[in-house]
Amino acid sequence: MNGEREPMDRAPGTSPAAAAGSWRLGDMEVNRIGFGAMRLTGSAAFHLGTPSDRDRALEVLRRAVELGVNHIDTAAFYFSRLRSANELINSALSPYPDDLVIATKVGPARTASGEWAAPARPDELRGQVEENLRQLGRDHLDLVNLRVMGQDSVAEHFGALADLREAGLIRHLGVSGVRPHHLAEARAIAPVVCVQNQYGVGSRDAEELVRLCAAQRIAFVPFFSIAGDGRAAGATGTESGEVLAVARAHGVSPARVRLAWTLRQGDHVLPIPGTGNPDHLVDNLAAATLHLTDEEAALLSAVRAA
């Protein structure tokens, strides 16, 4: 950890990220708009694209925290040829603010050259947790999500993480890329504080999970809320007529409209838009104060994936 920099100070409740309200992840209070670190590593997200500009990536992370973001999503497998999301977070933000929640995920595996490998076995998850601890410079992880990689049952994998939680390496647990039966299975083993799935305008396969999480007071953390079908590669550059119409009516970007709709789906919905661009960061956080009419929200809800 870099101990030369003083922790950043913020006035609670006065930041752009606080404008949409907050939610408790277990015993940790976070503002509803967080930050996804995947895109900090390069032009092709965590794949083997052109490395990002390091100084700009560090600037984005520091600016996010200054603007009130206190929920950052990352993973040890978020890296490109010269950039590691965890290393960037450590360099930019440690010593970490007391209220900053860093969520990571385990399950997927990549080789040192960046190729995808077989997902981790349950007995390999401790090694992935320890890798995140080393890279982030922490003695425990605030939140670890089990990223489900096609398996029908999560019992063995989630049970292994529950053991690491009991051992004090993990504070809270979540699940990612799941179906409703995965959530029920995990909750029978240990408390689940969040579910991460793709969700947004035109991408609503997780609708049942959004409702289940609301009923069970579990955070729903949607990813690719802006990118939609572009997924890890980012927004495709084409946009639906409905999103464009609402954006024009408010004089804002389509990305801001998409995030405002996502936030409207429940107080438990905590989007984690990611970007390597400081201007896009500010625009994303401004979604907290974009108020859609009921008619606009219905129009956007009717959008279907291309």
pTM score, whole prediction: 0.91
* Size of the chain in residues: 306
Query: Can you tell me the distance from the alpha carbon of 220 to that of 294, in angstroms, rounded to the nearest whole number?
Result: 22
Tell me, yes or no, whether 225 lies in a domain.
yes
Beta carbons of 16 and 288 less than 8 angstroms apart: yes
Q: Which of 23, 35, 77, 78 is catalytic?
A: 78
34 close to 71: Cβ distance less than 8 angstroms:
yes
Q: Is residue 22 part of a domain?
A: no
pLDDT in tens, 270-286: 999 999 999 999 999 99
Task: Return the H-helix or E-strand segment holding 102.
Answer: strand 101-106
pLDDT digits (tens, 9 = 90+) for 90-137: 999 999 999 999 999 999 999 988 889 999 999 999 999 999 999 999
Q: Does 78 participate in catalysis according to the annotation?
A: yes
- State how far the alpha carbon of 224 is from the alpha carbons of 138, 169, 235, 236, in Å: 27, 28, 9, 12
The identity of residue 192, as a single letter, is V
Q: Which domain holds residue 177?
A: 30-301
CATH classification at residue 115: 3.20.20.100
Assigned domain for 266 exists: yes
What pLDDT, on a 0 to 100 scale, did the predictor assign at position 237? 59
C-alpha angle 51-87-25 in degrees, rounded to nearest 5: 115
Task: Tell whether 18 is covered by a domain.
Answer: no
Tell me, yes or no, whether 10 lies in a domain.
no
Whose CA is closest to 32, among 16, 21, 44?
Answer: 21
**Residue 30: beta bridge partners?**
23
141 CA to centre of own chain = 15
User: In this structure, what token pair is assigned to residue 151?
Assistant: 């398996």
Q: What is the domain count for the chain?
A: 1
Strand-pairing partners, residue 25, are: 28
Q: For residue 6, is it within any domain?
A: no
> Is 5 domain-assigned?
no
- Judge whether 261 lies within some domain: yes
Contact 60, 88 (CB under 8 A): no
Q: Letter for the amino acid at 94?
A: S
The parts of the chain modelled with pLDDT lower than 70 are: 1-14, 43-51, 227-237, 305-306
